[in-house]
Amino acid sequence: MKMKDIATFVDKHCQADDYTLYIVKSENLYTRFAQNAITQHIDGENLQLSLNVAYDNKTGSAAVNQIDENSLKKMIDTAQNIARLNKPDPEFVPSEKAHKLRELEEPSKATTELKLEHIVDGIEKCIKNARNKQAKLAGISHRRIKATYLTTKNGFEGYDEQAYFSHSMTMKKGGIETKIARSLCDYDIFSMDDLITQLNGQFDSLQEPHKLEPTRLPVIIRPQALLSVLKYLVWTFQRREADEGANAFSDQIGKRFFGENFSMRSLTTDPLLYAPRFHNDGIPTQNIDWIDHGVIKNMQTDRIYAKQQGIEPRSIYNLSIDGGNVSEQEMMRKVERGLIINSFWYIRPIDMKAGEWTGLTRDGVLYFEDGKVKQAVYNFRWNEVLHDLTRRILAVGKQEQIEYDAKVPTLLCDDFNLVDVTTF
C-alpha cells in the first residue's frame, strides 16, 4: 500500500473531529567495526505510522509498523478510544491547513545508490591505517534513506525525502585515544582520505600528555567541539521558556545578547545542508536568522505557544554558524598561550536560568605557546555560560560541514574556564 493510499484509508475510516497522520519509511545500512575488523552489517527497511486524533480538544495517539487494513484500523480505533477517554487538553491546537511548500529536492544518487562493497572498501582503508600505527580502530558507517509523508484532516499534505552517509571512528593505542566523525548528504563530496588524515593528525599529536593545572585560558575550539556544545544551546533556545523566565534569554529578542562575532541561522538555500520541506506538524521551512551578529532575532516556538502569542511557530531544523577566514595557525599567534580542543562530552546543565553548563574535553587537548603547539595535556572539566563565551570570541575560522545538517567554524575564545584536570 502506498503512502497516499494509507492516507486515503485513514481519512475514510477516522471518525474523529481532527487528525494528523505521519508516515515515515527509512532504509538503513549499518556497518560496524572494532578491534581492526568488521563485526556487523545491518541492512533493512523500517516503516512507522503515527496517528494523532482529537474529539474537540480531547486527544489520543497510536502508532503501528504494519500497513495491512487490520493494523490500520487498530491504529485508528486505539487513537480514537484514547481520545474519548482522555481529559480535555487546554493547549490543544488544531492540525495544520494546506500550505505551499518549496519544490522537492531529490537526495543525492551517490548516497542512495551507495553499495555495501564501497563502504567496506572505505572501512578497510581506515583499518589498514590503524594497523600501520599499531593501533586499534572501532566505529560505524551508516547510510540512511528516509521518506516522510504528513497529512491532516484540515488539508495539509506534505512529502519529503532525505539521504545521508555518516562515518565515525575511534583510534586507540595504550592511553592515547581520539575520535572523528562526519556526515554528509552527498557521498560524492565525502573524502575518507581527508578523514583519515585528520584522525592521524589528532592521534599523532597526543603522545605523552602532560598535566596542566586548571585555569582560565584562551582556547581554539575546533568545529566538532563547537557543534557538540551548540546542540545544548539549540535545545534551550525556546521562546516560551524565555518568556516564563526558565532560561537565560528572557526579554532579549531584538537585543545584542550574544557576541558580535556570533551569528546562527537555519537555511533552506544552502545546497549542502539538509533542510526538510516542513516541520512542527506541517509548518513550511524558510530561511531564519536566529542570532545575527549577536542580536537575537528569533527563538524556537512550538505551535501551541505560537497560537497563544499570535506569532509564527519556528524550529531550528538545521544549523549554520557564520564563518570567517582566520586560520588555526593565525589564531595561535593572536594570543601568548592557549589550548586547542578537539571535542567536548558529558555536557550537563549547572544553572539553566543562567545558561551555565559543565562538561569534559575529549579526543585530545593540545597546549600551544608563542604560535606553536608544545605538547598534549590531560583532559579538563570546564564550566561556561555559553552565551557569555560568544562575547569572548577573538577570531573566527572557516565554516566546515560536520554533520549533514550542520556547518560550524573554528573559534578562538578568550578566558575559557577550566576548573579541574581529569586523570585520563
- Partnered with residue 48 across adjacent β-strands are 24
Q: Supply the DSSP symbol for 74.
A: H
26 to 190, 199, 212, 350, 377: CA distances (angstroms)? 22, 30, 47, 37, 43
pLDDT tens over the chain, length 424 residues: 799 999 999 999 999 999 999 999 999 999 999 999 999 999 999 999 999 999 999 999 999 999 999 999 999 999 999 999 999 999 999 999 999 999 999 999 999 999 999 999 999 999 999 999 999 999 999 999 999 999 999 999 999 999 999 999 999 999 899 999 999 999 999 999 999 999 999 999 988 889 999 999 999 999 999 999 999 999 999 999 999 999 999 999 999 999 999 999 999 999 999 999 999 899 999 999 999 999 999 999 999 999 999 999 999 999 999 999 999 999 999 999 999 999 999 999 999 999 999 999 999 999 999 999 999 999 999 999 999 999 999 999 999 999 999 999 999 999 999 999 987 6
Cα separation, 86 vs 88, in Å, equals 6
- Partnered with residue 50 across adjacent β-strands are 22, 63
How many other CB atoms are found less than 10 A from the CB of residue 385? 16
- For residue 70 the three cell numbers come to 487490520
- Partnered with residue 114 across adjacent β-strands are none
Cα separation, 412 vs 201, in Å, equals 20
Contact criterion met (CB below 8 Å) for 209 and 178:
no
Q: Supply the DSSP symbol for 108.
A: P
Q: Which helix (H) or strand (E) holds 421?
A: strand 406-421
Contact criterion met (CB below 8 Å) for 326 and 211:
no
Contact criterion met (CB below 8 Å) for 178 and 424:
no
Phi, psi of 33 (to 5 degrees): -140, 150
Contact criterion met (CB below 8 Å) for 23 and 49:
yes
173 to 127, 131, 178: CA distances (angstroms)? 13, 10, 10
Residue 48's identity, in one-letter code, is Q
What pLDDT sits at residue 299?
A: 98
Cα separation, 176 vs 170, in Å, equals 10
What pLDDT sits at residue 182?
A: 97
Contact criterion met (CB below 8 Å) for 225 and 342:
yes
Residue 173's identity, in one-letter code, is K
Neighbouring residues of 140: CB distance < 8 A, sequence distance ≥ 6: 30, 31, 32, 33, 166, 167, 168
What pLDDT sits at residue 424?
A: 67
Cα Rg of the chain, angstroms: 24
Q: With H, G, I as helix, E, B as strand and everything else as coil, classify residue 234.
A: helix
Q: Supply the DSSP symbol for 285.
A: P
- Partnered with residue 136 across adjacent β-strands are 172
- Dihedral of the alpha carbons of 183, 189, 193, 197, in degrees to the nearest 10: -60
Place of cell 585555569: 215
User: Which residue segments constitute the domains of the chain, with CATH numbers given?
Assistant: 3-197 (3.30.2290.10), 208-230+323-421 (no CATH), 250-319 (no CATH)
CA angle 312, 316, 319 (to 5 degrees): 145
Contact criterion met (CB below 8 Å) for 137 and 36:
yes
Cα separation, 297 vs 118, in Å, equals 44
281 to 99, 104, 157, 238: CA distances (angstroms)? 11, 18, 10, 17
- Partnered with residue 288 across adjacent β-strands are 266
Contact criterion met (CB below 8 Å) for 80 and 53:
yes
What pLDDT sits at residue 401?
A: 96
> Could you tell me whether strands 176-184 and 288-292 are parallel, antiparallel, or unpaired per DSSP bridges?
unpaired
65 to 62, 70, 130: CA distances (angstroms)? 11, 12, 41
